Chains A and B, each alone.
Chain A
Amino acid sequence: MAEFLSLHDAVARYVQDGATVAMEGFTHLIPFAAGHEVVRQGRRDLTLIRMTPDLAYDQLIGAGCAKKVIFSWGGNPGVGSLHRLRDAVEKGWPHKVEILEHSHAAMACAFEAGAAGLPLAVLRGYVGSELPNVNDQIKFIDCPFTGERLAAVPSIRPDVSIVHAQKADRAGNVLVEGIVGVQKEAVLAAKKSIVTVEEIVDDLRSEADYHPNACIIPGWAISAIAVAEKGSLPSYAHGYYPRDNAFYKEWDAIARDRDTFTRWIEENVMTAGGNA
């Protein structure tokens, strides 16, 4: 049963040094507030999983939280590079970060397999790609029925997954809508999960816009819920606020320089309140 905690307490309880953490949200509903809380609490040696690291992981990597990053597309969408990710990989600042890279299809399948309790995901993927040469977690198997050669990757089973969603009700049920990415899969694949939400409502089923096929994660499948208003800015929350595209462009200059980045983290994360 989901427990309602402050963001501080949820992160303190479930995100330990050395943990494997997935923070998902495909461009939409990226859990920035939770990422900032992890930075504030100074977590170290995390294995960070995310299909698209985005600015959220650029910040965690630059702040020294990451030991390893597992991803499938590591850019600033529509803008360019993630400079903190690149600086860590190319120059080892603030320390060397190990990377393991996949394709989107493989990661999506691996989250799904994790949610399904399977040890591996099978897909018709990586044909002719050199990614299997540099990622020893990509293997090939023969279909026992047809003999077709298929790719196999281990399922993703994080210690903790963190996602952001529009709302939860008093029973801890969570509504996710719009681009739903791999949020549900990430929560169900993880040993523990934290869901940050824009707001708490009494009962999702009595909401005017409730729909029988709405993407609901039941409260009993979630470890902790924390309210984080505007918790996915500068990404967006469908129905609440748009993506701050201007900030995504500004981030390029902020993240390009180590000192500018460090100052930004100090001013906007470290000394900000619990909900930055």
Chain B
Amino acid sequence: MSLDYNSAEMMTVTAARALENGMTCFVGIGLPSEAANLARLTHAPDVVLIYESGTLQTKPDVLPLSIGDGELAETALTTVSVPEMFRYWLQGGKIDVGFLGTAQIDRYCNLNTTLIGDYREPKVRLPGGGGAPEIATNAGEVFITLKHSKRAFVDRVDFVTTLGFGRDGKGRDGVPNIGKGPTRVITDLCVMKPDPETKELVVVSLHPGVTRDDVIEATGWEIRFADQLEATPEPSAKELDVLRELKARTARAHAGA
């Protein structure tokens, strides 16, 4: 029996499934936070969620609007200072996976959250790096989730805020003490993984109802598909229920003044 769900839900559920029970995850705000908490509320109750505001092992009942909402501190095991968070917990090698969003991404998984256009004369100024540059290099691996569009998936990012594999795919080669980097990108259309040799992103799985052409249309470079292209499993009724309840609770909490 097929369930009724939309592409945003498909993306969140698929991103959530990437997290395994017991992993320590440094969580970015927005889509990554939604996915990480869905994982915690479904198949991965012991996933350890860490936010850059210093909240360690937090279990928010509603999704935070900001990275430092009171909810995160109230439901955390402990809250540490921001220097401690970045130095001991992230740089110290205690994080299995960094979960990030981005404004732009290229074929080598480089992320741009700095600006569109030229640095000195920006067309659009974006917020900047935040925690991402060091999350992406100091976490064991990196998951990325964002909505698929030509604006986001560009041939060449305007600025490398955060390293994927560099402009040539070799940005991590020979660098000591660096994480594996991005291991999967989850969108509302598909799942992509970097080619083990070239590090170029390859579509490994299409979501139900999505065609190759849909992905090609929404990607700003000639996207490659795996020889063994898989079909992403549909969300389960339980996953959809938990996600919808989480989002409804969150909307109620943030609507109140």
Name A's B-contacting residues (CB within 8 A). 26-28, 51-52, 71-75, 77-79, 81-82, 85-86, 89-90, 101-106, 108-109, 111-112, 123-131, 133-134, 148, 178-182, 184-185, 236, 238, 242-248
Query: Within the complex, which residue of A26, A81, A236 is in contact with B127, where a contact is CB–CB below 8 Å?
Result: A81
Q: How far in angstroms is the closest Cβ of chain B from A17?
A: 26
Known A130-B160, A246-B255; judge A182-B73 contact (CB<8 A): no
Return chain A residues, CB-CB under 8 Å to B178: 127
Interface centre among A105, A106, A243 (most CB of B within 10 A): A105
Query: Within the complex, which residue of A90, A125, A130, A245 is in contact with B161, where a contact is CB–CB below 8 Å?
Result: A130
Within 8 A of A (CB), among B72-118: 72-73, 79-83, 85-87, 90-91, 110, 114
Q: Name which residue of chain B comes closest to A184, CB basis.
A: B81
Query: In the complex, A78 Cα to B85 Cα: how many Å?
Result: 21
Return chain B residues, CB-CB under 8 Å to A179: 53-55, 68, 70, 72-73, 79
Known A127-B175, A180-B81; judge A90-B125 contact (CB<8 A): yes
Interface centre among B64, B70, B85 (most CB of A within 10 A): B70
Number of interface residues of B (CB under 8 A): 59
Contact with A along B126-148 (1 / 0, CB 8 A): 11111111100110000000000
Are B125 and A85 interface neighbours, CB within 8 A?
Answer: yes
Q: How far in angstroms is the closest Cβ of chain B from A116?
A: 10
Query: Within the complex, which residue of A27, A125, A134, A148 is in contact with B133, where a contact is CB–CB below 8 Å?
Result: A125
Query: In the complex, A182 Cα to B70 Cα: how many Å?
Result: 16
Q: Name which residue of chain A comes closest to B112, CB basis.
A: A130
Q: Name which residue of chain A comes closest to B132, CB basis.
A: A103
Query: Within the complex, which residue of A27, A81, A90, A184 is in contact with B68, where a contact is CB–CB below 8 Å?
Result: A27
Q: How far in angstroms is the closest Cβ of chain A from B151?
A: 16
Return chain B residues, CB-CB under 8 Å to A79: 65
Is B216 positioned at the interface, with any CB of A under 8 Å from its CB? no
Q: How far in angstroms is the closest Cβ of chain A from B134?
A: 4
Are B130 and A73 interface neighbours, CB within 8 A?
Answer: yes
Q: Mind listing 9 A-B residue pairs with CB under 8 Å?
A: A26-B53, A85-B125, A103-B132, A105-B133, A111-B83, A133-B119, A179-B72, A179-B79, A180-B79
